Amino acid sequence: MEAAKVKKKSSTKAKKPAKSTQEAVEVSSSRGRASKGLVVVESPAKAKTLKKYLGKNFDVKASVGHILDLPKSNLGVDLEHDFQPTYELIKGKTKVVEELKKAALNAQKIYLAADPDREGEAIAWHIIEVLKLPEDQVHRVLFHEITKPAVLKAIENPVRMSKERYESQQARRVLDRLVGYKISPILWTKVRRGLSAGRVQSVAVRMIVEREKEVLAFQPKAYWTIESLLEAEGKKFPGRLVKIEDKKVERTDIDKEEWAQEIVRDAKTADWKISNITQKQRRRNPDPPFITSTLQQEASKRLYFSAKKTMTLAQQLYEGIELGEMGAQGLITYMRTDSTRLSDDAIQQARNIIRDILGKEYLPNSPLEYRNKKNAQDAHEAIRPTSVDFTPEKVKAYLEPDQYKLYELIWKRYLASQMEQAIFDQTSVDMDAVAKNGKKYGFRANGSVLRFDGFLVMWQTEDEKNQDEGDSVQLPDLTNKSKLKSHDVKEEKHFTQPPPRYSESSLIKELEEKGIGRPSTYASILSTIQDRKYVEKKENRFYPTELGNLVTELLVESFSDILNVQFTANLEDQLDQIEEGKANWIKTLRDFYVPFEKDLATAAEKMRNIKREETVTDLKCPKCDKPVILKWGKNGKFAACQGYPDCRFTSEYTVDDGKVKLVEQQVTDEKCPNCSAPMMVKTGRFGKFLACSTYPTCKTTKPITTGIACPDCGQGELSEKRTRFGKVFYSCTKYPNCKYAMWDKPIKGRTCPQCSYPFLAEHYTKKEGASVRCPNKECGFVEKVETPAQ
């Protein structure tokens, strides 16, 4: 790997911007530089948009993310010298850096315009370091939205380089490296190689593990509710039991069927009358405009987008979309923010469109303001459209379907946040039922009528509408003198429910409320814990895997601070204080590392060695009749003969009601090419494969192929493989000599009717649905199908 090592010192001075940037083009004869400004951003997409705004007097280049990072091969942090990191040029970035250097030589002024957050600040500092840029040539500019007026204004008004923000990012990076690179080797030794731990991710996994324990330990309890069908003023309506004598009855209080039946018998013979009617007006306020976390939550609930997908789409909307004759336009403000603040101009734009489109009755007398949560960074606005001129309808034709859905969500939330309250007329009717034996039961009926929809005309789904109305029903016009008649009284049995498993939306909400991570990190946290196979998602709910449970148990025992929610939240607060100049990054790391180092030494000595642990089952080995044990291997937990190495029987297994069952070995008709014994289907790290049934006597293995010849080399066949993240792909059996691979599933026996390609392939995307298409890119044959490819 080509790498330029750069020692980053904590004493690096902040670069000061030049005194004036009113003229973007100045000729400097003393330096012989051309009269061009160079703008450096992170993303090629953003660079493309900016070029159209800035014109020929500016060159715009993309760093394509970070150019420096800590090395992968070692810790990269000097523990003896104030945790100073050693950065290396990221593999593959040599060409990018050379292009930036060349462009800088031809520039009079250099504008570092990486994203306006900690990561962007780090990128800017690293560009200065690698390119060795002189102090008087560098300007830091922050684009909170990618529109021409905002971009030109930012260029005209550069800000100082923020040493504090950079040191905060560096502290976070070093903290994460210390946890990952110090704990992971212990897990390799004690459990299996390849495992990893993360400062924030491990806490998120712990939350999922502990919620699962709550669910599994939950003992449902039966309870009964009592309801009567009543009639007054010629209309029928339900009433629910809320009191016995003068004691309030909670929903789960009646826990005996005999008791419920007794109440029903009493109420059926009771005299009914209205005891009280309460009428009041209820107002519901709109929600604030989106911040990063609430955008991810709502996109998950309403659009079923993952946090990662939401942030990818938001990035695209922020960086710029080609809108035909209107050119490239950034459609939303910066999407990594935890501030609900809107600029005065944005508020006025929203108020104007609300008045013009919906009418004055939907417009509050004064703009609505929202209080930020504790520790919110107010540097950015909330997430909003950059201009009300870009209505969803106007830009729909230029957006991908999912881009449009997210943009419409942001648009509606932005407008709704500046609209009038929704108003409900709420009526509560209390009724007494006096039984023949003198017992008095209190029943209640609630009615709610939406009198003014307010912001709900912009922001409410049908499910939310039903939820908002709750137990409310349409009640007749009642007075205290209205006569009541009971048609029926019945009990209904229910069971208490366990706490729900986390969805993406609820986990993000919990992380935010507990102060774990920051909104900009939630998407990567959720992706990482799934990629590492510590949790899995089923029907949009998170379940811990067996590996996730095990690793969490070990880490909690050995690193109680690291896995502690409050400890992690306090560290986030300290990182914020570093950014605000209120804390020293080196002291923060030292305070963390001193106790952490002691925990590392203890864990290395005392953490359970799972590799050596074996669980004896009641099963007998089918080969030698010795006990079958469960143990951990490099591909996870498996069943094996206790007689190893004399007997090498192994098998996958399942657990049903606490009983271990071996997975029946799948013997195929294919014969081993070396000993002619039957081949068996086995499962390894990268999916299923064929192995000789006489293993370990014969160790022959073969891939399971599709029977389709490789179209590239013609010698191998295409076989199913899996990436380390579990994604299926198809590649040539002659790898590494032939590196042909494809994501789509090849279909045997179907040649392309258009170009006679030897096979077709199943293809599926959420946008286009399922199809069968020709792998030959020059052909273009596509055949739609009704169901997704399996």
User: What element of type H or E holds 471?
Assistant: none
Dihedral angle sign, alpha carbons of residues 44, 45, 48, 51:
negative
Inter-residue contact 634 to 611 (CB < 8 Å): no
Alpha helices in 218-278 (DSSP H): 257-268
- The 10 Å Cβ neighbour count of residue 580 is 13
The rounded distance, in Å, linking the Cα atoms of 382 and 228 is 48
The rounded distance, in Å, linking the Cα atoms of 422 and 401 is 30
The rounded distance, in Å, linking the Cα atoms of 26 and 21 is 10
Inter-residue contact 215 to 501 (CB < 8 Å): yes
Single out the catalytic residue among 87, 111, 334, 502.
Answer: 334
The rounded distance, in Å, linking the Cα atoms of 690 and 669 is 11
Backbone angles phi, psi at 656, to 5 degrees: -125, 115
Is 334 labeled as catalytic in the residue annotation? yes
Alpha helices in 532-643 (DSSP H): 546-558, 565-579, 585-606
Nearest alpha-carbon partner for 91 in 159, 165, 1, 21: 1
The rounded distance, in Å, linking the Cα atoms of 89 and 72 is 11
Inter-residue contact 200 to 525 (CB < 8 Å): yes
Inter-residue contact 411 to 427 (CB < 8 Å): no
The angle, 0 to 180 degrees and rounded to 10, between the axes of the packed helices 307-319 and 44-54 is: 20
Q: In the 8-state DSSP scheme, what is residue 135?
A: G
The rounded distance, in Å, linking the Cα atoms of 609 and 192 is 10
CA neighbours closer than 13 Å in the CB half-sphere of residue 683? 14
Residues with Cβ within 8 Å of 95's Cβ and at least 6 positions away in sequence, in order, are none
* One-letter amino acid for residue 365 of the chain: N
- The 10 Å Cβ neighbour count of residue 455 is 26
Give residue 401's region: left, alpha or beta (phi > 0; psi -120 to 50): alpha
Q: Which two tokens stand for residue 73?
A: 């091969």
Nearest alpha-carbon partner for 192 in 557, 637, 602: 637
Q: Which two tokens stand for residue 543?
A: 């379940």
The rounded distance, in Å, linking the Cα atoms of 320 and 324 is 12
Inter-residue contact 489 to 236 (CB < 8 Å): no
Nearest alpha-carbon partner for 513 in 552, 566, 447, 555: 566
User: What element of type H or E holds 309?
Assistant: helix 307-319
* One-letter amino acid for residue 162 of the chain: S
Nearest alpha-carbon partner for 129 in 171, 77, 66: 66
Q: In the 8-state DSSP scheme, what is residue 758?
A: S
3-state secondary structure 370-438: CCCCCCCCCCCCCECECCCCCCHHHHHHHCCHHHHHHHHHHHHHHHHCCCCCEEEEEEEEEEEEECCCC
The rounded distance, in Å, linking the Cα atoms of 50 and 613 is 59
User: What element of type H or E holds 136?
Assistant: none
DSSP one-letter string for 476-507: ----TT---EEEEEEEEEEE--PPPPP-HHHH
**Residues recognised as catalytic:** 334
